[in-house]
Structure 1
């Protein structure tokens, strides 16, 4: 199986990771940092807003099962791309909306998607679109955070609704056994 990779930042990486893991064809989701200048940043450094990095997820997927366009649709449906440097209760440039493309095809697809999406909002879409420089995996305790901490109050209030939205709105893209039944 040949896989491809996509990189998205839409607020707290715990929430984006949990939403993307619901999708059939997604092989691996890794929380991390990208979009800045600091080599091998730590969570504390990223939160200081001095690194330029955003909290992002690296999504490894099987393009024969799910396409990049589908990932874009889920990504944009599970965060507010009109909020500058924040999502929900999380405020700071590390929580910005950003798509880091891996090749010209991804760049073209995301630019077209954002252009079309902009017509659906009254406010400007502020999602940054940049080439991926380097992805830095986050510390181990951030990986699979929702799976490891489903009772965590933050997860229940912010990650769980995103998961439910994916299961309801994108049922045809969800892994077997995870979709809610009507």
Structure 2
């Protein structure tokens, strides 16, 4: 995924981020467990860090979640690109069980094309 601020603002990107996953589970998303599934926001500038922290703090203050938000906020470092078969996984594998059971319901919930 490449972030392009001419397509979506950083604030809107964070809004989607919070809506698409559970930020209260440490090193876990659904049935997937491990540090690779931790909730984390990477920033590239002090302004992005400020916006990310404010976004997290606002969400926490609203009391939307019964458990504390555990999302980390870290400076971006070198990105290691995953193998090709991980890229655009849903688009290439819509009929796979994981896509049908996990991704498709999230897209429907958000009113996005499935």
Q: 1:161 aligns with which of 90, 105, 112?
A: 105
SS in structure 1 at match of 2:73: strand
SS in structure 2 at match of 1:117: helix
Range 127-136 or range 159-168, more displaced: 159-168
Unpaired stretches in structure 1, ≥5 consecutive residues: 1-28, 30-58, 169-177
Q: 2:20 aligns with which of 61, 78, 100?
A: 78
1:72–1:110 Cα contact (<8 Å) kept: yes
Q: 1:116 aligns with which of 34, 53, 58?
A: 58
Matched, 1:93 2:35: yes
Q: Structure 1: how far apart are the matches of 2:51 and 2:97?
A: 36
Which is bigger in relative contact order (C-alpha 8 A, separation at least 6)?
1
Name 2:46's counterpart in structure 1: 104
Count of paired positions: 112
* TM-score where L is the length of structure 2: 0.90
Name 1:143's counterpart in structure 2: 87
How far the C-alpha of 1:115 sits from its partner, in A, is 0.3
Question: Which 4+ stretches in 1 moved above 3 angstroms?
Answer: none
* TM-score where L is the length of structure 1: 0.58
The structure carrying a bigger strand percent of its residues is 1
